[in-house]
């Protein structure tokens, strides 16, 4: 994808966009590539008027924007073009301007597919039922036997189960106290909750012993090793942590933005610097 010489601006849009590490991740990459792009946060609280935001993204100076909570559903809904997978998930975390149109992508979905959609998973337990879980479910279409979904918001869990049913995946939702019991029978556990952000947090599923061979996928990244990943390591299980997910979804942006393959190497270097300073 080529961009006009005037298009140099990328943003991250979210209620707490200025607290994300995305500018620190991407600006060194752009500097190393010498393309004079800039990546800036835009704090947009929930329930803000969004038409002005959409209009601003159509400016000729803008390349696009990452979109984080709580605006991922908005991003999917207002895009002029979106893939079937984005439509199915109902969420997008990247909008790219092409001419007078906004194209929606979900790099969370691409990251999960890259890591996990290489084999069948007999029983997937989703801890959390928000946008990240929806992206993971869609990414694994055709690679899931059954699902169990647990969320503190039972209605959210039921909605994700409805999506799974629509995709032809049988399963059930359980209330949060039964998440640990469900996890003990999983072949793949996806933690799509914020559990792990705090150093004192335990494993997202609680104290259950998991089956040998269970794979643990954690969306949460932090300066410390999350309780979920600690438990996976202690139980000798294969896992992907939130830092790996962050890198995978960032790497997925490289071809979408029309950047050279070298951008992926620069992303790894940039992420290593961030982790070293945390």
Active-site amino acid positions: 72
What is the Cα 84 distance to its own chain's centre? 17
- Least Cα distance to 148 among 137, 161, 135 occurs for 161
- Least Cα distance to 130 among 159, 173, 164 occurs for 159
Helix (H) or strand (E) holding 36: none
- Least Cα distance to 53 among 44, 63, 40, 66 occurs for 44
Helix (H) or strand (E) holding 277: helix 262-277
Q: How far is CA 203 from CA 14, 62, 176, 221, 232, in A?
A: 27, 41, 14, 13, 9
SS3 183: helix
Which is it for strands 171-174 and 144-150: parallel, antiparallel or unpaired?
Answer: parallel
Q: How far is CA 131 from CA 69, 92, 117, in A?
A: 9, 9, 18
Angstrom distance (rounded) from CA 138 to CA 275: 30
What helix, strand, coil percent values describe the chain, rounded to 5? 40, 20, 40
SS3 148: strand
The CB density around residue 72, as the number of other CB atoms within 10 Å, is 28
The 8-class DSSP code of residue 227 comes to H
């Amino acid at each position: 994808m080529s961009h006009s010489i005037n298009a140099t601006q990328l943003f991250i849009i979210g209620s707490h966009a200025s607290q994300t590490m995305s500018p620190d991740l991407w600006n060194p990459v752009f500097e190393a590539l010498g393309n004079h792009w800039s990546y800036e946060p835009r704090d947009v609280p929930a329930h803000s008027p969004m038409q002005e935001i959409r209009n601003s993204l159509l400016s000729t100076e803008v390349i696009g924007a990452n979109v984080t909570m709580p605006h991922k559903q908005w991003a999917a809904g207002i895009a002029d073009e979106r893939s079937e997978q984005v439509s199915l998930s109902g969420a997008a975390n990247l909008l790219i301007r092409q001419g007078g149109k906004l194209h929606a992508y979900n790099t969370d979905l691409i990251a999960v597919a890259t890591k996990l959609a290489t084999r069948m998973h007999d029983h997937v337990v989703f801890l959390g039922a928000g946008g990240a879980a929806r992206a993971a479910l869609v990414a694994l279409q055709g690679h899931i036997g059954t699902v169990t979904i647990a969320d503190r918001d039972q209605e959210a869990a039921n909605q994700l189960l409805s999506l799974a049913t629509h995709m032809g995946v049988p399963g059930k939702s359980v209330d949060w106290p039964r998440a640990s019991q469900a996890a003990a029978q999983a072949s793949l556990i996806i933690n799509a909750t914020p559990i792990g952000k705090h150093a004192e947090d335990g494993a997202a599923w609680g104290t259950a012993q998991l089956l040998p061979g269970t794979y643990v996928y954690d969306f949460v990244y932090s300066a410390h090793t999350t309780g979920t990943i600690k438990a996976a390591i202690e139980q000798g299980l294969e896992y992907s942590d939130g830092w790996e997910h962050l890198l995978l979804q960032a790497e997925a942006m490289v071809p979408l933005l029309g950047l050279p393959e070298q951008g992926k190497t620069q992303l790894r270097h940039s992420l290593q610097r961030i982790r070293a300073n945390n």
